[in-house]
Amino acid sequence: MSWTEERVELLKKMWSEGQSASQIAKALGGVTRNAVIGKVHRLGLSNRTGGAGAPPKPEPKPAEAPLTEAPKMEAPKAAAPVAEPEIEMEAPKPRETVTSVKIPVPAARKPIVPAGQPLPPQPSANEVSPEALATQREAEMKARRLTLMELTERTCKWPIGDPATDDFWFCGHPVQAGKPYCEAHVGVAFQPMSSRRDRRR
């Protein structure tokens, strides 16, 4: 394979979108991530965005400014300290249900609510089918306890414990093809609407 214009275009596009070299290589086919990185450097578009350590920031791509003519336009943005919405990902937090079962979590741990008071809101599903919940416990007892860095596309990203304390890690079991969670957690994460009791707001 060679770097045809089309391929280079796709490379540029994907790179600017924050795609990783390996992802780009996969999309292009016939090249390795090394080849992609090498090309990226040769093209001189190394740092994707101003900040070097800036994390992949998907450009919303406002709109192609026609820009027929705009000689010296200074954008005197009077600094608008916009409050970041900070959207939370769909990350259901495993909830401890008071049952007779003992130590559902790996090693004996402090109560799961030690932190101060905040404790992030838990948006989604609370009512999980008993069996799914049981399976969930099993999985958590054997959790690999991965840290954020250790997560990959193939590790279960189900959070366990309290993010505000050290008692926090990710399941880490092999994910179920495509899904972000392992089989057990897919079970509690993706529930049919029907089985979800309507909570009267």
Partner DNA sequence: CCCTGATTCGC
Partner DNA sequence: GCGAATCAGG
Burial class (CB in 10 A: 0-12, 13-18, 19+), 42: exposed
Pick between residue 48 and residue 137 the one whose CB is nearest to DNA. Answer: 48
Q: Are 161 and 167 in contact (CB under 8 A)?
A: yes
Residues numbered 148-177 forming contacts with DNA, rule: CB under 7 A? 149-150, 152-154
Q: How far is the CB of 14 from DNA (least distance, A)?
A: 10
Nearer to DNA, 110 or 154 (CB): 154
Contacts of 189 (CB under 8 A, 6+ apart): 92, 125, 158, 179, 180, 181
* 146: phi then psi, degrees, rounded to nearest 5: -85, 155
Binding DNA (rule: CB under 7 A), the pick from 10, 17, 27, 37 is 37
**Residue 33 makes contact with DNA by CB under 7 A:** yes
Secondary structure of residue 169 in the 3-state scheme: strand
Kindly state the number of chain residues that form the binding site for DNA, as judged by CB under 7 A. Answer: 26
CB of 144 to DNA, least distance (A): 10
Residues 145/168, Cβ–Cβ less than 8 Å:
no
Q: Is 41 helix (H, G, I), strand (E, B) or coil?
A: helix
Q: What does the alpha-carbon distance between residue 25 and residue 6 come to, in Å, rounded to a whole number? A: 14
- DSSP lists the bridge partners of residue 182 as 175
| Residue 82 found at the interface with DNA (CB under 7 A) | no
Contact call for residue 57 and DNA (CB under 7 A)? no
Q: Does 35 bind DNA (CB under 7 A)?
A: yes
Please say which residue, 44 or 62, places its beta carbon nearer to DNA: 44
Q: Considering the rule CB under 7 A, would residue 79 count as an interface residue with DNA?
A: no
Whichever of 38 and 123 has its CB closer to DNA, that residue is 38
Question: What are the residues binding DNA (CB under 7 A)?
Answer: 1-3, 19-23, 31-35, 37-42, 46-47, 149-150, 152-154
